[in-house]
Structure formats: structure tokens, C-alpha cells
Amino acid sequence: MSSVWNNRIAISLFGESHGSAMGVTINNLPAGEYIDVEKISKFMSRINVRRDELDFLPRENVTPHIMSGIYNDRTTGSPLCAFVRNYIHETEKSADSLDRLARAGHADYTGAVRYKGFNDVRDGGHMSEKIIIPICFAGAVCGQILERRGIYTGAHIASLGTVKDNPFDSVRLNREQILSIREKKFPVISDSKGWLMAGQIAETYAKGDTLGGVVECAVVNVPAGIGSPVFDGLESTVSQLVFSIPHVSGIEFGNGFRSCMMTGTQNNDAFYVNDHGHVLTETNNHGGILGGISSGMPIVFRAGFRPSPSVAVPQESVDLKTMTGRSFTSDECDVCEVTRAVACVEAVANIAVLSHMIDYPNFC
């Protein structure tokens, strides 16, 4: 099971959903970086929300315990290791009754085949959605290092079910606009659209069903010249990390698939020199990346999330031990994972950008 990502910065994940803890080890961070643990806890609280409540209040403590790599609030240059304790809740169904149940939409069947039935099956084990906890810790650390250099990452729910939020202004987006969304309980640009989304969540939850959606993310103040073709392009790095988030079904940058219905003259972004002598583009259809390299415009991408498979209605499944069909109903209805996916997308964007910025002149 490959749980190590190594691209200048190395990240190694450990733990299972119902184990004692889940955590991460981060290698190759620059030494001497000030890390505010309280800000990390605040960032991570955004991923643990009560999806059955419209106020989306935190439901569990996700304060990380840092074991190494930070001394006197600064990175030491040695591996930064941190973990979050699991608060395991007893369920009515024992692990024995689930150890060969292929739940619809879950990785039970594929995991059993890949690991010959020896994988931890308790709520998905290492393949559980809880894997976002250590990933988000790593992204929160990387985000603080980037923000000290003036680079900010922000995201919002671009769409939820059939409701669409206002999109980012990919040309004039700035730090203040990103931070204003980050402080909201419901991360949308238009609060009125947020209320419509919340209403759709309530209706879907009452039916025992779930919703998917799209998260739009932007990174501002990234200098031009970050990333390298062919296999080390900035889009490649972002995409690989985005797909580490559970339930992601697709990603697009800039105009994305809309550009497939446009002509070249419609999609191209005209260059110009601004009053400060910087080369910019009139529009940002390319999403801030050309040829795998940052252009100096805001980096804008969207990640699509399919509905959570944990629905509170009966679904047909297979008992892999007896090879017979059976009906299964989930104990929990994870009505909408998109609300907490916003912070996850920000986190992986931070990791991706910092991994490329490390090579940038005078960054460290």
C-alpha cells in the first residue's frame, strides 16, 4: 500500500480509521519556519463538521499532537511527525459482519482483491475518508510557510447538487477575497446561494440520500516560472494530490472542459505589461498555468466530488465470504462531503505549490 508522496517535500501517512491514531511524517521542510499550532487546529476544524446540521458546527477534536520536527515553534529541519488520536465509536455491527461485505460505492471489494483479504476493513481502514486528517495537517503547515511569502490559497463550494455559487474572478482575485471566504461557516461567495445549498442538504438528508458537488480553488501571488514539463508540471502535481482526497471524480484548470467547445481565439489569453512592468494576461482562461509552468496569474482549478456512498437506504451488496447477495443499509448517512472538502482541496494545493516553490530562487 503506497502511502508515501515524494516530490521535493516527502509526505508519509499512517494509521487506520478505527486504529488508535492517524498521522503523517513530513520530510524536507525548510528549517526555521515559524509554525502556529493554534492556526493549524483552526484549519483542521473545518474538515470535521456535522453534516446532518445546517450550522455545521465542529463535532470532534482534531488537535494534532506533534512528536518531532518543531522546537520553540519553529521547524528544525528534521522530519515533522504529527498524529491525531481516533475517537472510536462502537457500532452495532461487528467487524466480523463487515469483513467481506462489498458495500456499494466503497472500496471493500477492490481492497479485498488487492490485499488478499488482509486489509483493515473497519470503516475502510487506511482507505477511509479519515485519511484527509493527516493530509490536511501537512497542507496547513505548508500553507503557513507559503503565506509568510505572500502566497494564499482559498476555496469555496462552486456547486452543490443543482445549486451553483458565484465563480471566482480569476483575473482580479486577491488575498482579501480568499480570506473572507475562509472565515465563513459555510464556504461560499454568495451567502444566498449558501442558504439554498443548505436547504438542499436538509431535503436530501431527510431522504437518507447524499449529494455531490464541485469545489473551486485558487492560489494567488504565485510568481511566474514555477513547475517543469513534462512529468513535473504544476497541474500534474496538483492533480495527483487532489485525487488523494476521497470521492474526487475529476479536476479541471481554468476554462477546463469548456475550452473544448471554444475556438483558439476565444480561449487564448492576450498578454500585456502592467504599470509595474509585470507581464500579465487580460483574461485567465488558462487558469494560471501554461505548459505546466505558472504564468503569474491566479492559479484556478475545480475538483468534482461524487456523492458519498454512505446512504441510509437499503442497497444490494455481496458477501464475499459466502459469495451470496445480501441487502445492506449504512449506519450513517454522510449527506454531503463537499462542505468539508473545501479545506482538503486548499491543503493539497498548498502542498503542491510549496513543493515547487522550494526550488524558486531566494524562497528559503
* Domain residue spans of the chain: 4-357
CA distance 79 to 25: 6
Confidence of residue 88 (pLDDT cuts 50, 70, 90): low
- The larger pLDDT score, comparing residue 91 to residue 204, is at 204
Angle, helix 132-147 to helix 338-357, in steps of 10 degrees: 50
Question: In terms of pLDDT, which residue wins out, 345 or 98?
Answer: 345
Handedness of CA 39, 215, 134, 84 (dihedral sign): positive
Q: Tell me how far apart the terminal alpha carbons of the chain are, to the nearest angstrom.
A: 33
The CATH number fitting domain 4-357, selected from 3.40.50.1860, 3.60.150.10, 3.30.70.980, 3.30.930.10:
3.60.150.10
- CB-hemisphere CA count at 13 Å for 125? 16
Question: What pLDDT digit, counting tens, does each position of 278-309 carry?
Answer: 999 999 999 999 999 999 999 999 999 999 88
Is residue 279 within 8 Å of 292, Cβ to Cβ?
no
Location of C-alpha cell 480568499: 178
Averaged pLDDT, 46-61: 53
Torsion of Cα atoms, 180 then 184 then 190 then 196, to 10° = 170
CA dist., res. 242 & res. 235, Å (int) = 10
Three-state DSSP class for residue 113:
helix
User: 300 with 253: CB under 8 angstroms?
Assistant: yes
DSSP label of 299: E
pLDDT score for 53: 43
Residue 57 has pLDDT above 60, yes or no: no
Q: What is the pLDDT of residue 114?
A: 79
DSSP class per residue in 78-98: S-EEEEEE--PPP-SS-HHHH
Q: At residue 276, what are phi and psi to the nearest 5 degrees? A: -95, 5
Q: Which residue has the higher pLDDT, 166 or 125?
A: 166
pLDDT above 70: residue 95:
no
